[in-house]
Structure 1
């Protein structure tokens, strides 16, 4: 449901933006608390899982497409998919690999576990608000929210939507493919170029590390910075 100005949602938009948007233009406000607001010429609303979001790899994680859709694939291309994602507090995606390269912009405190094939080990890259990470195609990884609030991310994948078999290949799926069992629907774009046994082993390494260490926490400095960002956001709200 759209809402009119001065309802507490639209007040968070910059001065003058509400009444000046041309037809078809959308304005997104990605709040420091993990909420997402959408305004257009007709009104404003907070996006939520019950309407505008799709399941994002795991239960409790959500995505809202900006470019492409869940059915994007090499056979049904839109060149790339771009979507807003919401990662639940203190949670992580099941380790997986994408058939295409992957870009993630974190708007909170996150971590990305990556399998380094050259060194044969798992490395964890901490991310702070405003950091964008590029992950090559078929690199095993898992993205985690280190904070206690929902985490908003902006994710772009080349060539694949969530419904495609090669969007997110988990360890279980890689093990199944290693036995020669391929999906019964669609085409597997990376089937002939991937050692699925090695992929499954790398994904299991990330899983084991997650189980042993758990999800990293935010530091005292990061928690202080988060409070200061909320203060800054509050000062920018139109009163």
Structure 2
């Protein structure tokens, strides 16, 4: 079963960020939306009046207490989607275009599709099955941050075939894997990833609306004007 809805339908633990042009940030989850504020979300950043909101690690991160994170830019081809997968660590993706994220909600037993527009950032908890698509007709640039794993690591992106292979392995070699992955139910993971694949086959990467296409034109115009300052 699949459903398309707003932030209130996000799976537990998923979080959606909206970065406004005025510099403020709204964070939304299944319980609602709120502004990030100094009282509960922001830390002093070097000087008074400057603030930071940590996405990976925390104020105590250091060479002695590393976060082992990766942050990278990605370019997604027009109207294409990644193979559904799950990461061994949590994952943040900032969309700079018109994207869509399909998330498997294990509590509800369904795929929730979250459309993203430029300036929205989504958090995906570790081992949550998901995929990321470009709804537009031009290449999409994203900023992605992952904890724990680089793209060459075997646990960076676990696909349905890999989950099925691990489930069938006798005995399952957990010695080289993290505790989180050792506890994972690979059969359930594979089934969830297959559900996302089915939604992708039926719906494709999604499309942009008339309003989004108009906004994209205006954004290109604004970018051209700003570039001439």
Structure 2 length-normalised TM: 0.68
1:187 deviation in Å?
2.7
Cα shift at 1:181:
6.0
Unaligned runs of 5+ in 2: 1-65
Q: What per-residue deviation string (whole Å, max 9, x for no partner) do you get for residues 94-139 of structure 1?
A: 0000000000000000000010000000010000000000000000
**Number of residue-to-residue matches in the alignment:** 163
Gaps in structure 1 of 5+ consecutive residues = 1-76
Structure 2 contact 82–133 (Cα < 8 Å) conserved: yes
Residue 20 of structure 1 aligns with which residue?
A: none
In the TM superposition, residue 172 of structure 1 has moved relative to its aligned partner by 0.3
Instruction: Give the aligned partner of residue 230 of structure 1.
Output: 220
What is aligned with 1:206?
196
Cα distance in 2 for partners of 1:182, 1:97 equals 22
Cα contact 1:104–1:133 (8 A) shared by 2: yes
Aligned counterpart in structure 1 of residue 166 of structure 2, from 158, 165, 177: 177
Which residue, 107, 131, 150 being the options, matches 1:161? 150
Partner of 1:42: none
| 1:143, distance to aligned residue in structure 2 (A) | 0.2
SS of 2:150's equivalent? coil
> What is the match of residue 22 of structure 1?
none
The 5 Å alignment of 1:80-119 reads 80-119=69-108
Secondary structure in 2 aligned to 1:215?
A: coil
